[in-house]
Amino acid sequence: MASTNVKELTDANFESEVLKSDLPTLVDFWAVWCGPCKQIAPVVEALADQYAGKLKVGKLDVDHHQIYAQQLRVTSIPALFLFKGGKVVWNTVGAVPRSKLEAELQKHL
């Protein structure tokens, strides 16, 4: 991860970093071998930098941390979930355009 504004999420820190966060939190469920995940990574990092202080952004590697991916029924990646107040308020699957992501973020910030 190139951006310092993107937090590495794990099964161990997911609750404290995402579910109990005071800020809306965008979670990117991804894997190293996933081509579309690599495609969307720069967009996720750019959004993390752009909305620093207003939005928390994290990435969870589904190959190494599966508990929350299974609980949220993540069956395809990349899967992006936006949490607010510990609840999912929006999610999507695939390498979606930045404009779509920003439009959804704006609704919840």
Active site residues: 34, 37
Scored b (16 or more CB within 10 A) or e, 10-41 reads eeeebeebbeebeebbbbbbbeeebeebeebb
Task: Tell me which residue of 80, 83, 91, 25 sits closest to 54, measured CA to CA.
Answer: 25
Q: Which two three-digit tokens encode residue 32?
A: 């190293």
Q: Where are the extended beta strands (E) located within the chain?
A: 6-9, 25-30, 56-61, 79-84, 87-93
